[in-house]
Homo-oligomer: A and B are copies of this chain.
Amino acid sequence: MSDPSFAVDAHQAAVARELYAAVRDLPLISPHGHVDPRLLADDEPFGDPAQLLVVPDHYVTRMLLSQGIPPAKLGVPRRDGEPVETDGRTIWRLLAANWHLFRGTPSRLWLEQTFRTVFGIETRLRRETADEVYDAIAARLAEPEFRPRALFARFGIEVLATTESPTDDLAQHAKLEADGWGGPGGRVISTFRPDDVVDMDRPDWRSSVERMGSLAGLNVRTYTEYLEALQARREAFIAAGATSSDHGHPTARTLQLDKSDAARLFEKGLRGSVTPEEAEAFRANMLFEFAGMSIEDGLVMQLHPGAVRDHNRLLYERHGKDVGGDIPQATDYVHALGPLLEAYGMNPHLRLVLYTLDEDAFSRELAPLAGGYPAVFLGAPWWFLDTPDAMRRFREAVTDSAGFYNTAGFVDDTRAFCSIPVRHDVARRSDAAYLASLVVQNRLPLDEAAETMADLAYHLPRRVFRLDGDRA
């Protein structure tokens, strides 16, 4: 199967291919994702094909689970240490035997294109070809050209941001910098993600705050010390190349608490006695605080709200977090972001990139906010919406009020390193199809569509995420 153009109409598809061809070889900008920096710091060969492409991909294990295949049979580790399947070939055969489940899904698109473009395999995966595909990938993975740093170069990645907590000592990033790969302006940089020291609902919140303090050289007993520790860690992240922070809250709620009220909540948290409402208020207050810090230190602020974490409780109990048990919920932005935007929405130093799992907010709230506040940008369609059809709906719904230049370009947000070029490629093809539809309808001249295409693919993410060296 040749590459999809994401256009049904032949004329639109032809224009889309032309727009895409001009950007296909532009470097990849990956300003937000979850690749383990150790991968690139160590540059060890990857494991077997299943360990690389199935076990850690919760899109894949989730879909197989939905048809009754337990994650343990797919090699997903259990929290209780009970044994799970470890034979890569067995796992792979299970995937191949259930390949029809992925028809029409982005996982299928990403995996097939990965097989073809990363590993050079043209054989179609099915039950009968499982071993053939498995062996071919395994053979590639044994070659030096398939080590992480070699792939990084081959993929044409200009910059990759990983994501770490303030409780991380950034040792991997230090090693990368020592190797000439990391640090400010480097190829691999970090992102400041403080959720585990902000979210009092987490059982390990206190110990995380303590660990953050010790990394900052502070004994954190007060709210003021807590803020100081956060600022110190932000500086350490900036020194490790970070240009943005990231915030994964259940809601987008923001709130400016009196310093004394925030301090009282913080101390209640340390005593382990906050209610869920107080934890929410503290999170909301901290988004407000982080916006203030961003204005000071220039970190671009990303907000990823709206996931009900660990909705699938049994899956969480057996296998822990981030294995496919999260479900989106309806997400309000217009009221939730009110306090933050009233204070800082017009501030030229703030840059707030909004994501959503709730596409119902595209035209109603997100596009009007991005098209009305200098500080607000729209992040790429995220997670369940990171697909050709949802990307089309995104552009169709937000361009009216936000145009193209209040969007932030594509963000792959992935932990699946080998899928990075494929995901960017899908986004470029999707945007090309949308722009082509405007051209075909005589709503945008081809030359302007081509310029926009290059901006979306390369220039916008560099600029919005301050990867062009401009700290504004």
Residues of A within 8 A of B (CB): 1-12, 62-63, 65-68, 100-106, 109, 124, 308, 311-315, 324-325, 327-330, 332, 334-335, 338, 341-342, 345-346, 348, 357-360, 363-365, 367-374, 376, 384-385, 387-390, 393, 395-397, 399-406, 437-438, 440-445, 448, 451-452
Contact = CB atoms under 8 A, between A and B. Distances in A.
A11 B437 CA distance: 15
Nearest to A440: B8
A339 to B, nearest CB: 10
B334 A311 contact: yes
Q: Which 4 A-B pairs have the closest CB atoms?
A: A104-B399, A387-B400, A4-B442, A4-B441
A64 to B, nearest CB: 10
A8 B5 contact: no
B405 A372 contact: no
Contacts of A372: 62, 65-66, 311-312, 324-325, 327
A399 B387 CA distance: 10
A402 B370 CA distance: 30
B369 A384 contact: no
A448 B102 CA distance: 11
Contact of A359 (B63, B102, B341, B364): B364
A311 B330 contact: no
B9 A9 contact: yes
A437 B4 CA distance: 11
B452 A374 contact: no
Contacts of A370: 66
Contact of A443 (B109, B313, B357, B445): B109
A314 B340 CA distance: 12
Given A5-B441, A67-B406, 16 more contacts: A2-B442, A8-B437, A10-B11, A63-B371, A66-B370, A66-B374, A67-B405, A100-B452, A103-B448, A105-B400, A105-B403, A313-B342, A328-B334, A329-B335, A363-B390, A388-B443
Contacts of A397: 389
Contacts of A4: 441-443
Contacts of A364: 328-330, 357-360, 384
Q: Counting chain B CB atoms within 10 Å of each CB, which of A8, A348, A364 scores highest?
A: A364
B312 A346 contact: yes
B367 A363 contact: no
Contacts of A103: 403-404, 438, 444, 448, 452
A100 to B, nearest CB: 7
Contact of A68 (B312, B328, B348, B388): B348
Contacts of A406: 66-67
Contacts of A385: 363, 400
A374 B328 contact: no
Contacts of A400: 104-106, 384-385, 387, 389-390
